[in-house]
Structures are given as structure tokens and as C-alpha cells.
Amino acid sequence: MTEETISVMNEHLYNKSYISVFLLLEFSAIRELQILHFFLFLGLYLITVSGNLLIIFAVAFDHHLHSPMYFFLMNLAIQDIGTISVIVPKSLVNSLMNTRHISYVGCVVQVFGYMFFAVSDFFLLTVMAYDRYIAICNPLQYEMVMNRAACTKRVGAVWIAGFLYAVLHTGGTFASPFCSNVINQFFCEIPQLLPLACSNLHLIEIGAIVMSFILTLSCFVYIGVTYVHIFSAVLKISSIQGRKKVFSTCLPHFIVFFVFCFTGCFAYLRPPSNTPSHLDLVLTVMYAIFPPMFNPIIYSMRNKEVKNALSKLLGLGHSSGSFTTSTNI
């Protein structure tokens, strides 16, 4: 083997190992369709951010919503804003500027940010299930178990756990050099990055995903069992009005959790494709954009207290009742 050949091979390996820019999925090569994508995603982004901001302001400024359940809901809205803000703005810029590029650092930030907010979202939904369980199945213990200090600690634990998970998965994903910089997705997504790895170091992240799946499954089973107990307790309530009130606070959370898990499973359990497909794109939009967008709609449609607070916030009316279900925090 000549020195020239060795030099070419070394240069080739160097270029594969030190990728500084990734190429994201292009929605279309037609400029008009790129502009259409820009306005479509911009509309979805503005709807999501404004809807979740309304939830945050409603909980913050309406004293009827100063209770554990709505404190958790406010944090969920913050996480939803973070989730969509990590991935959509870059896609908007790329469509507007007719480019596909994202820097290596930008890709790391996207992976870390998305994992941080998405995992925190899931853990918070687990805590919210526990909150509803105590409120409905053990109401006499609610004020003691879900006091201000306890709720703050639980939310703090959720954010810390999300941060640690994001560090773990980001480190595992980028531990290996990449042989290609073409990502078949409109943002840096772990399942699409792993097949690009040059070495077996990416097995670290696969192992982390397996451990995360086991923990996620445990939370899923816990929430499922929790809601079996909740709905069993609800069916024992003799008052029809009482049942409606309980369902109005439990069903939104259950629907949000189901949508989050159902769409997320498609993303991380399906085998990654070597070529981009419209199905992958649709599924990604379903789990990455739709849940944060629909969460405030689901909660405001099914919950009278939230609707009253939003009406007052927007100057559309006055609260027709007071909130007395749980302790203020």
C-alpha cells in the first residue's frame, strides 16, 4: 500500500470522524412548497406557544387555580413550550432560507433540549397521576401529602431527572464519530442519528434507550394501575355531579398521557429508515408537535376552572364558581 493511498484513506476517515455540519430532511425541493411548510409550521408553533402561555398566565394570576394539580399543569405547559421551541424554529429558518444545514453544536443542543423537556414531560405526567390518585382515593390525606413543600420537591425532582436523562442520552448519542451527516428527519432525532455512527460506541446509547424503555414501561404500568383505582373510586360516587367534576379533572390528564405515549412509541420503537418517507414525517409531527399543541386545548375544554380562568384572563366573562377541591400552594 503506497503512502499516497494511506494518506487518502486517513483524510477520508478524518472527514467522516469530524463532521461539523449535519444536513436535515428537506420537506420539498420546490420553493413554493417550502414556503407553504414555513407558514404551516409557523402557525402550529404560534398556536402551541400561545395556548400554553395562556395556561401559564391563567394558573399564575387566578387564585382559584393555586392548587397542586394546576401547579403541575403550569409546569407541563412550560415543558410543552420548551419541547416545540427546541425543534421547530430551526426548521422554520431552514425552510425560509432554503437550506438544510444545522451545526454539530446545534444538533447536540436539539438532542439535549428535546430529551430534557420530553422526559420531564413524561415524569410530570406520572406525578400528576399520583396527585389525582391521592385527591380521589385518599382525600383526607391530600392536604398532608400534597402540600406546598412536597409539590415543589416533586416538580424539582422531575426537572432534575429530565436533565440527567438528557445528559445520558446526549452523551451516548454523540460518543461515536459519524460516518454520514445526512439525517432523515427535520430535526436531530436520536433514532435517526444512531445509524450514522462509525463505531460500536453507539451501543452505549442503545443500552441507555433499553434502560429508559424499562423505566418508561414501569411508569406506564404505574399510571395505568393508578387510573384503574381512580375510575373504580369514581364509579362508587353516588352523585352524578360529583362524577362529572372528577372526570373533568382526570380525563384530560389521561388523554394527554395516552397521546404522549402512543405517538412516542412510534418514534422510538419503529426501525429507522435509510430513506426519508412521508409516513415517518407524519408520525414525527404527531408525537413532536401535536401533543404540546393539544394539551392546553384538552385541559381547557374538559375543565371548568381552567375555562373560567381563561375567560377572565381574556376579558370574556367572570368566574362562575370557586375552586375548593384542593389546598392552595
- CA distances to 32, 37, 301 from 99, in Å: 14, 13, 39
pLDDT score for 276 = 62
pLDDT score for 270 = 66
**Buried b or exposed e, range 32-60, using 16+ CB within 10 angstroms:** eebeebbeebbebbebbbebbebbbbbbe
Rounded distance between C-alpha atoms, residue 276 and residue 57, angstroms: 40
Assign 308 to helix, strand or coil: helix
Q: Is pLDDT above 80 for 2?
A: no
Question: Which one is predicted more confidently, 145 or 260?
Answer: 145
Q: Over the stretch 180-234, which tens digit does the pLDDT of each residue have?
A: 899 988 899 888 888 888 877 667 777 777 777 788 788 888 888 888 888 888 8
Q: What is the mean pLDDT of residues 48-58?
A: 92
Q: Is pLDDT above 50 for 283?
A: yes
pLDDT score for 31 = 86
The mean predicted confidence, pLDDT, of the chain is 81
pLDDT score for 160 = 96
CATH class of 21-313: mainly alpha
Rounded distance between C-alpha atoms, residue 151 and residue 70, angstroms: 11
Q: How many residues does the structure list for the chain? A: 329
* Sign, Cα dihedral of 192, 195, 199, 203: positive
**Buried b or exposed e, range 151-164, using 16+ CB within 10 angstroms:** beebbeebbebbee
Residues 6+ apart with CB under 8 A from 48: 80, 81, 84, 289, 292, 293
Rounded distance between C-alpha atoms, residue 267 and residue 193, angstroms: 13
Q: What is the mean pLDDT of residues 233-250?
A: 73
pLDDT score for 231 = 82
Q: Is pLDDT above 70 for 147?
A: yes
pLDDT score for 232 = 84
Q: Over the stretch 68-122, which tens digit does the pLDDT of each residue have?
A: 989 999 999 999 999 999 999 999 999 999 899 999 999 999 999 999 998 999 8
Per-residue confidence at 273, pLDDT binned at 50, 70, 90?
low
pLDDT score for 8 = 38
pLDDT score for 20 = 86
Assign 102 to helix, strand or coil: strand
Rounded distance between C-alpha atoms, residue 133 and residue 304, angstroms: 20
Question: Which one is predicted more confidently, 109 or 237?
Answer: 109
pLDDT score for 201 = 65
pLDDT score for 3 = 45
Q: Is pLDDT above 60 for 61?
A: yes
pLDDT score for 101 = 92
What is the greatest pairwise CA distance in the chain?
A: 88
Global pTM reads 0.83
Lowest-confidence segment of 153-162, 222-231, 237-246 by average pLDDT: 237-246
Amino acid at 307: K
Supply 274's cell numbers: 435509510
Work out the burial of residue 198: count CB atoms within 10 Å of its CB; fewer than 13 is exposed, 13-18 middle, 19 or more buried.
Answer: middle
Q: Over the stretch 8-31, which tens digit does the pLDDT of each residue have?
A: 344 444 444 468 899 998 877 888
